[in-house]
C-alpha cells in the first residue's frame, strides 16, 4: 500500500500493488495519462507499508481513502515529515 503526492504536495493518491517498483515505474512514466496520477502528476512516493496478505492491504487502503486530507497528512508525517521522495531510483 502506498501514498503518492505531486511536486508541491497538493494532491494525494492512495493505491495498492504487489510490486511497488513496477507500479512506481508505471506512474513516473505516465503509462495512463488520463488517470489521477497522470492528471495531477503524483509521482512522489511519500508513504508505503507492506502487508503479508493482499486482503489486509485492501482493507487499509479503503480505510485511508475514506479519511480527510489532514488525517492522511498526519499519517505520512509520522514516518516522513519532510514529504521526501522514498522512491529508490
The string of pLDDT tens digits covering residues 39-62 is: 999 999 999 999 999 999 999 999
CA distance 72 to 75: 5
Q: Which uninterrupted H or E stretch holds 48?
A: strand 44-48
- Alpha-carbon torsion (41, 23, 34, 47), positive or negative: negative
**pLDDT class of 88 with cuts at 50, 70, 90:** low
The CATH number of the structural domain formed by 2-79 is 3.40.1440.10
Domain boundaries, the chain: 2-79
List, in sequence order, every residue forming a beta bridge with 3; answer none if it has no partner.
14, 47
pLDDT attached to residue 20: 94
pLDDT in tens, 12-42: 999 999 999 999 999 999 999 999 999 999 9
Amino acid at each position: 500500500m502506498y501514498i503518492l503526492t505531486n511536486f508541491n504536495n497538493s494532491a494525494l493518491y492512495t493505491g495498492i500493488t504487489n510490486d511497488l517498483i513496477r507500479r512506481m515505474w508505471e506512474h513516473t512514466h505516465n503509462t495512463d495519462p488520463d488517470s489521477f496520477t497522470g492528471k495531477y502528476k503524483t509521482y512522489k512516493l511519500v508513504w508505503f507499508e507492506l502487508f503479508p496478505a493482499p486482503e489486509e492491504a485492501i482493507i487499509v487502503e479503503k480505510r485511508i481513502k475514506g479519511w480527510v486530507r489532514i488525517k492522511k497528512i498526519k499519517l505520512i508525517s509520522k514516518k516522513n515529515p519532510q514529504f521526501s521522495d522514498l522512491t529508490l531510483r
